[in-house]
Amino acid sequence: MAPAPTIANVLASSRANKRVAKPHTAPVRIAVKVGPSTRPTGLPSAPKPFLTYFDEDARPQTRLDRDIGNGQGVAIGRLRPDVLFDYRFVSLSHNTVRGAAGGAVLTAELLTAEGFIQAK
């Protein structure tokens, strides 16, 4: 039997023995819906939830899902078994908000919350 899927940041990974059938996608879906266990909480700009999983075949879509969590969230969907990598899926995030600008804001909030940045 293959080990349970794990989630690290936004990447889900699982290794399956090639001689047996691949595990079902249900455990991976559950892991994505629960989200990372090491996520900092209480940051003002942090999305709640960080990861949003869609069961629909046509989701995530850029026009509908790019602003999930005010642009800070990540939309995940279309999880399928894959011949080469065990699983494949589509993830979508807002490039500007989740990328450089939002990442800098979240980093500053985390550093302040952890006490590395203090008011003068």
Q: Is 120 inside a domain boundary?
A: no
Q: What's the number of domains the chain is made of?
A: 1
pLDDT of residue 21: 59
Residue 35 falls within a domain, yes or no? Answer: yes
Comparing 103 with 7, the larger pLDDT belongs to 103
Asked whether residue 68 is domain-assigned, the answer is yes
- Split at pLDDT 50, 70, 90, the class of 119 is confident
**Is there a domain that residue 29 lies in?**
yes
Q: What is the DSSP letter of 21?
A: P
Q: What is the β-pairing status of strands 86-92 and 74-82?
A: antiparallel
- Is 77 buried (19+), middle (13-18) or exposed (0-12) by CB count in 10 A? buried
Q: Is the peptide bond before 5 cis (omega within 30 degrees of 0)?
A: no
Tell me the C-alpha distance between 104 and 63, whole Å: 24
The pLDDT of residue 106 = 86
Asked whether the predicted pLDDT for residue 43 surpasses 50, the reply is yes
**Residue 10 in this model has a pLDDT that exceeds 70:** no
Query: Is it the case that residue 61 has pLDDT exceeding 50?
Result: yes
Does a structural domain hold residue 1? Answer: no
Decide if 99 is inside a domain: yes
Domain that holds residue 35: 6-113
